[in-house]
Each structure stands twice: as C-alpha cells, then as structure tokens.
Structure 1
C-alpha cells in the first residue's frame, strides 16, 4: 500500500510509504495458516496497535510470534509493535529474524541500524543501511541514518556522497537542514552556518530550524543576527519554549550551546521530523515507531517526548500520554507545556473541574504563559463560563500584544465568549479585529456572517463573507449550513434547501443543521419532509433546546412560531450559531 506523505523539518516533501508484508496484508493478501490462538493474538495485536495501545500490541504480537515464529507477516508486525512501544532492542532482535525470513525490509534494517548507532557501532550501522533507499519513508530515513553513521566513523566525504544520492530525488531542500546539523556535530561551524542559513531562508518560521540557526549564530558570537532571526519568528505571533530559552541566552550575550551534541541527537532529530510528518498524514502507528526511535537515540530530547504524548492524545490514550508528560524533568523548557497537556487530558477524561484548577494555578504562578492562558480560556468557554473565558483571553492578548497576524485567534475566541455572554457589540468588534489580522480566515468569516444573518442585519455583506468562507473550507458542514441559512433569510428557499442538504450530509447528527433544513423544506412547500427533518433534529439533540423548539413546529408548523415574511426576505430565526 502506498501513501503520499510529507516530511517536515520545515520543508514539504511528497513521498510514498511502503512497509513490506504489512502492505501485502492490507491489500488483501492471505497469510499462512495459523491456529486459532495465534490468529486471535495477531488480530488483537493489530487492533491494539491501531489504537496505539502499544504495550498491549507488543504483548499480543509476542504471543502470536511465539506460536508461529516463521510466519513473516506476524514477525514483521511483532517488531513494529516492539518499536512502537519503545522496546527497540527487542524490535531489532525480531527484525533480524524477519530479514532471515523475508529480505529486504527497509524498516527492519532501519531499526537494526538505529540500535547500532545508539551503541556507537557506526561501521556495523553503515553496513546494515548501505542498501536501504528509495522514495519510502523508511528508505529515505535509512539513507539519512546511513549518512549519520558515516559521520560517526569520521567519513565526511562518504556521508556527503550518500546525501547527494538522496538529494537527486528532489529532496535537497529537505536535506540541507540535516547537512547543517552534521557539519555542526563534525565541528565544521562555517559549513554548518552556511547550510543552516539556506534552511532558514527556505523556512524562516519553522521552530526547529529557527532554534538551530539562532543557536549556531549565537555560538559564533553573532548575537545581533541571532536576535533578528528570533524577532522575525516572534513577529508572526509564533512562540516555542526552546526558542524562548535560546533567546534568554542571546539577550545576555551568552552562547546558547549546540542544537545536536552528537551523532545520536542529530539522528534523533531526523526521526522527530519524519515522525511528525507521518502523524500528520494519518499513520500514527508508524509515526510511533519513528518517534520512539528518536527518543531511544536521544532520551533527553523532551520535544520528541511531547510530540509522542500528543500522538497518544490523538488516539485517546490520555493516561499513557500523561505518563510521558509527567516524566519530563521540572527544569525542562517543555515542562510547562506538558503540564498544560496533563490538564487538558484531565478535562478529556471527565475531570474538568480539576483541569480548570490546575490551569488556574499555572496561570497564577506564571501569568505570561500564553499556552496555559489559551487552553484555560478554551476550557472555560467549553464549561459555559463565558465571562471568565473573555477575561482570560483578554489577559492572553495582553501577553501576545494583540497586533501580530497570529493573534487573530484570541480576538475570535474572545468574540465567541462575548457573543455567548450576550455582549454582541463587544463580540462584533472582536470578530472585525480578527478579520483585520487575518482577512481570509474562514471560521471568523463564518461566525460573523452567520451572526449577522441570524440577527437579520447586513444580509448581503454577510452572504459575501459566508460564500468566501465556503470557498476556503468547502467540506465544512457548519459553514455550508451558514450559507444555507443566509439563503433562507434572503427568501431564496430552493437555494437554502440545496446547501442545507449538503450540510446535513456532512454533519448528519447536528440538531441545529437538521432543524434548519426542516425550516427550509417548509418554506419550499415540502412540508412532509420538513416534519421528518424536525423529528430527526429532535432525535439527535442531546441538550434539549432544539427538541423543545421543534416540538412547537411539529404541532403547528413553522408559521406557528415564525410567520412567513410578507414583503421582505427576512424571517425570524430561532437557532443560535451552529458552532
């Protein structure tokens, strides 16, 4: 099976992901006959790995492999599960057996090579990886790890030759950052700065590139240039704890220290960027393998720990994620962010009060923690504490400055809090300010446009805004609902039906959207369908407000609660913004 994906160290790269026997299995190939217990363990392991219950997956696949040690499909999934669970030595042992059964396998060679690099057996790693290549994630990463192994051997020319070969596939923009790190580890500061400058020029707002380049400039005593690099990053409303730590050193004219201290930490950064790319492209199990390999090579890379925790969060494994966050040392620049993630997980698992308490403590002890302020405001808003949320967002704007392009979000979410607190004038002002900073932001265009439509004011400007939002986010059911509702308000009932039917297809269980479609059907003369749609709206409503509203319509029709417009196109609406 081939997946298009992106490698992210600030440079976008479309490549294919192929993982040996797993590909054959996914494509429908049959696997050798297994007894029932082996089959059950295998299937349970696959499900556990898909859920990122990696400890369970490793245990199930170990049982399956013990029952059928010469089945390459089981052995392959076994070593992948071990690696995803951080048992890299076990993964390498099983990967060696897989290569005896079914060679080649780039991912297996990559795991074996990683173990050798960790043990500083660079020559052995280079031998294992010399035939790994191609345009797969495992192939490209294996090629880069081969180059890192050669750097470890002191074979700079051969390492550059390997990189040149990889770069022939159009990957040089991706490789230049890793060339910079390799040169820095080798002690070639001049070349490192030249490569880092190229990487920065291509992607000046990627945090890892900004951190590495500013470190190299600071270590060279070029503090003014380093300050400008960081200032440009922050001017975009961006921030990162590690860049803040570098900035503190630079401001005091202190050398901030190297980005990668050795071959292991340099190669770990490679696994970090590839793991992030895989997660973004919807391959969390394989992403877990790459991130674990990065943590194995560099146990002190807290940024990889945090990414792995976020990966677990995305799979709903909040307890496992919190274990990752909790182990970060107290003096780590990433610790405050990890503590915020723990609070978010407490909320996700149902303990919102404790989450709010912890976030309140974080903000009280560090009132300039923008991440904590942002999450606290969002959580207060979710708890319908709108006045408190608006106050928290105001504090966040005070920290952020309120004028950077990225600050649009704080105006937007504060506007939502004001709107829900029935302070429309303040909300409208914030939405307009958000659009000044980000004129094409579809969520803001939709919210302000919908609010105007729902109030029956500024209908034509609102329609223009919502149509612009739909063009930017054509598969967002909420935004398409807004467009349909705008048409409804303008008396264009057939157009409203068309858009609202599309919105219901995208958001079939949203009660507001189903209710809107029922109203549109009624005005279009399709009263039987209207009653059917209102019944659906009532059935899927979990909070009760829509159910109460449609009960009146089911009893007396739409005219009983909202008389049809006479001369004008505007009918009274009942629904709050479907956000």
Structure 2
C-alpha cells in the first residue's frame, strides 16, 4: 500500500469574532513601504551607534515571535536613535510581546512624545496606570482613544474598569451601554457581570452571569465564574446544575473542576473579581484568545501579556501565552512558561502535558513519551494527557500502543460526543498503519457518523479504499466531497487524481495530478503518482522525469525503492496498482 504518512495531521482535542488590530510591526511582512525602508535605513546610517544590525535582527525575531531576542535587539536599536519613532515603536511592541510591560510602557511614552495618536502605545501606558491603581490617569488616557476602532472599543471597556476603580459604576454602566448599542451587547454581558461583582452587587452579577452562560454555555471561563457566583451566594444546587450542563456537552476544564469540588463540599469558592486588575486582565485574556484563533498571534501575545501583567496569578492566561508560542513553533519559550506555573495551580497538569509534548517537538521524543507515560499512569482520568500520549505514540509509529491509548480516551469521553470524531479518526489511522484494516474502516465510518462531511476523514477512507482497489465509486464520491471542502489541499487533490487513475480515467488523472503537484511540488508520493499517470497516457519521458523527482525528494527511501524498477522498466499498458 502507498504510504499515508504524508496525509497524517497532528490533531488536538483542544480546539469572538473580532477583527485583528493592524499594527505596523515587523511581525507583518510588508509593514514598511520601500520609501519608508530607505528613509529608516538612512536614519540608521547617520545614527551615532549604527543600530542597523539590531533592527534587522529584531525584525526577523519579531516576525518569528522570538520575543526575547526581538525585545533585546529592538531596544538596542531604539536606544541608539531615541528620536526615531519607527525604531521606538518596534521596541515597545517587542517588549510588550515579551511581557516586559513596564519597559514597554516607558518606551510607549517616548513614542507618544514623538508621535501622538498611536493607539496601542496609549493603551499600554494607560494599562500601566490601571495596574498601579492610578485610576484617574488610566480613565483619562483610555478616553483619548477613539471608540471607532477595535482598539478604541477595547480601551472603552478598560476605561469602564477604571471607572469601577473610582467607584463611579453608574458611569461605567452608561459607557458599556453606549458601546453595546453598536451590536456588542452580548459580548459585554460577561464584563458587566464581573463589574457588578467587583462593585458588590451580587444579585445583578448573578443575573448577568446567567445571561452570559445562556449565550455561551460551552465556554469554560463563563461557566467557572457563573458557578462560583452561585456557590458564593449559597446556591450550591444551582451551581451544580450549571457545571453539569457544561459537562453534559463532553467538556472539561481544570478551573471548572476546581469550582465543582468546592460546590460538592458546599464550600464557597471565593469571589472571582476581587479587584479591578483581575477584571481588566480578563478583558485582555478573552481578546487575546480570540485573536489567536483569528490567526493574529503577534497581537494576541501582546494582549495576553498585558492580561498577565495585570493579574500575575492568572495561570490560565500564562498557559494561553504558552499555547500561542506553541502555535508559532517557539516550543522552548512555551516550555519556560509552562515550567513557571506553580505546582499547586489547577492549570499545572495541563502545563505539564504541554511541556512533555514540546519535548517531542524539540527532538526528545523518548523523554516526552516517558513523561507522558508517567502522567497517564498517575492520572488515568486526565483526557488531555491520555490523548496527547496517544498522539505521540502514533508519531513514534507505535501504532498498536497508540490505538490502545486512543481507546482509553474514548472510554473517558463516552465515545458519543460530536468532537469524538477526532479520536475515532486518529485511532483509525493507527489501526490502518498496524494493518488492522477492519478496525480502521469501522473507526473512519464512526468518525463520519459523528461529523458527516469531515474532509480529512472522507479523504483518508476514500484514498484507502482506492489504494486497495475496493469500493472505487463510493470512494470517488467521498474524495470529491473532500475536494469541494478543501479545494487547495494538494493531498486531497492527489487522492482524486489517484481515484481517476484507478478507474482508468487517465486523462482526468493527469490533469488532476498535475494540479496536485503544482500545489505540493516536492512530495515524492505525488510525483510518483503523476509519473504513473503520464506513463499510462503515453508520455514516457515526462513519466520518467516525475519518477526521478520522486526518488530525489524522498527522504525516507520507500518511494525511491519503488520507482527504481519503474525507471528501469516502466509500467505495463494496464493501469498498475501499487
């Protein structure tokens, strides 16, 4: 059977709506026009201490979100030319992304001296005032940011928090009502609940938190806060019902579990919004997570760092910072965050699992498996740990053990949640690689029952059938559905081309496989398939050229071994199965 390794995606079980803030930072390509770049380089050349190298290194580091290096390089460049707003701007952004908020605020103030109106600089400076309980200064600075922009809406909510600090809740309510009139009322309900709690208005806080939960019953933070408020008011049965509703969706979260334990013991978990800083930090937390999901990791990181600055004990925000760093490939930096989580924190187990996973990313798969194996042995009910362990076993090609671990994960979830399709799918891949096809086929079908039309599953099952010369017409239908959902996925396009090839539709196979190779020009499997199609179409020289490419780019050796005979003898005129 043709190798399917290139088709395996690393799935995760951990899996609003705001447009990202466009920042002129080095984290975005093309941020500076040619003339602006030349102007900047001219300024650098005339600087007393040439910061050109620091600037260029900082630009690349910021783009990669190597924030510690970016902050160091950009600070050096800015210090060498403290009157250059472009350098100062990049320095404060890099410092903020690295969590150096006090330094970023100082640099931001310098930027505002040079160039008024930079909204992010204003926000960071005002956030420093909020942290230091200088609420009057914070309120005034946030008020200077126009509410017409994304950053302005954010600033307005933070301004409301400053008003709470000044005991001017009526003004805070009026401000949020004004913002809510623009269509953001549902988004603001949760923060109105937190503000009411901070102001000691318990009944109002519970009512608003209930509305927020009704809107988003699957959000762990909303569930945690609402259940906590109910339990603090002695309404333990109602709190238990809220948690049960959350868990009935197959959802779990360490912070919800912590509240659940308190509720079961009829113990008040304690006020969530103990001060203005915690409430404002939650604003940055929510937006940071949303921006990360929206594909803006640089801005998300700045917001999450601001949240952690306001509430250093918010371990859930620290883990979110680590997850953003994970997504951009900064495993070492993420692991430093995970290591910093206190052992007594409810978030520590999740941090330990992510730390172990990153050891595999960093090349120490053996140690990663050892640590995760220990975690699973001591915490067999930890779904995150069990699933991650299964994933690493699969990546390590220990397919039978991986399937056993996925089975344990399904035992924990019950196997009937919509989201369980991912576990059936990955267990199916493990069974397929372990040459237990009947079990694999059953899992793929179950995954499609839970998530009909899922393109990865459709492609995997369809391609497997085609590769085994079985169910060719149903397989073609499946793959065509997958192509419709993912028209730019080279692997799925390849599957469609290979289906045409197996069905003897050589002209269609050639056209489709050419498209796949255009999308993924250096994949040996795809080049090999196109070579076969060319040969059957009578295009012998082009076939040998594609087989040669397949052999050259094959790093594993399987395809190279396969095409050697083809390069020597070609194929028969009949469509060949592999």
TM-score, normalised by the number of residues in structure 1: 0.91
1:346 touches 1:352 (CA, 8 Å); kept in 2?
Answer: yes
Distance 1:446 1:231, change over 3 A: farther
**Structure 2 CA distance, aligned partners of 1:311 and 1:16?**
17
**What whole-Å deviation, never above 9, does each CA across 1:146-187 have from its counterpart, x for those lacking one?**
111111111112112222333343222222221121112112
Residue 97 of structure 2 is matched in structure 1 by 84
2:394 touches 2:430 (CA, 8 Å); kept in 1?
Answer: yes
Q: Is 2:179 the partner of 1:171?
A: no
Distance 1:364 1:558, change over 3 A: same
Residue 279 of structure 1 is matched in structure 2 by 292
**Structure 1 CA distance, aligned partners of 2:354 and 2:53?**
35
Residue 478 of structure 1 is matched in structure 2 by 491
1:13 touches 1:171 (CA, 8 Å); kept in 2?
Answer: no
Higher mean alpha-carbon deviation, 15-24 vs 408-417, is at 15-24
1:484 touches 1:496 (CA, 8 Å); kept in 2?
Answer: yes
Residue 34 of structure 1 is matched in structure 2 by 43
Offset of residue 135 of structure 1:
4.6
- Within 5 A, what are the aligned runs for 1:187-266? 187-266=200-279
- Within 5 A, what are the aligned runs for 1:104-503? 104-503=117-516
2:360 touches 2:368 (CA, 8 Å); kept in 1?
Answer: yes
1:470 touches 1:476 (CA, 8 Å); kept in 2?
Answer: yes
SS of the residue 1:34 aligns to: helix
Higher mean alpha-carbon deviation, 138-147 vs 384-393, is at 138-147
**Structure 2 CA distance, aligned partners of 1:193 and 1:475?**
47
Offset of residue 22 of structure 1:
9.6
**What whole-Å deviation, never above 9, does each CA across 1:548-579 have from its counterpart, x for those lacking one?**
111111111122xxx61xxxxxx4532xxxxx
Structure 1 segments unaligned to the other structure (5+ residues): 1-9, 565-570, 575-579
Higher mean alpha-carbon deviation, 514-523 vs 543-552, is at 514-523
1:12 touches 1:174 (CA, 8 Å); kept in 2?
Answer: no
Offset of residue 408 of structure 1:
1.5
SS of the residue 2:343 aligns to: coil
Q: How many residues align?
A: 556
Distance 1:18 1:321, change over 3 A: closer
2:27 touches 2:63 (CA, 8 Å); kept in 1?
Answer: no
Q: Is 2:73 the partner of 1:67?
A: no
**Structure 2 CA distance, aligned partners of 1:349 and 1:393?**
24
**Structure 1 CA distance, aligned partners of 2:218 and 2:44?**
54
Indicate the RMSD between aligned Cα atoms, in angstroms. Answer: 2.1
1:15 touches 1:136 (CA, 8 Å); kept in 2?
Answer: no
Distance 1:113 1:487, change over 3 A: same
Distance 1:147 1:22, change over 3 A: farther
Offset of residue 294 of structure 1:
0.7
SS of the residue 1:464 aligns to: helix
Show structure 1 runs of 4+ deviating over 4 A.
Answer: 18-25
Tell me which of 506, 524, 528 is aligned to 1:511: 524
**Structure 2 CA distance, aligned partners of 1:16 and 1:330?**
35
Residue 6 of structure 1 is matched in structure 2 by none
Offset of residue 534 of structure 1:
1.4
Structure 2 segments unaligned to the other structure (5+ residues): 1-14
Offset of residue 278 of structure 1:
2.6
2:16 touches 2:290 (CA, 8 Å); kept in 1?
Answer: no
**Structure 2 CA distance, aligned partners of 1:206 and 1:153?**
30
Distance 1:212 1:46, change over 3 A: same
**Structure 2 CA distance, aligned partners of 1:206 and 1:477?**
35
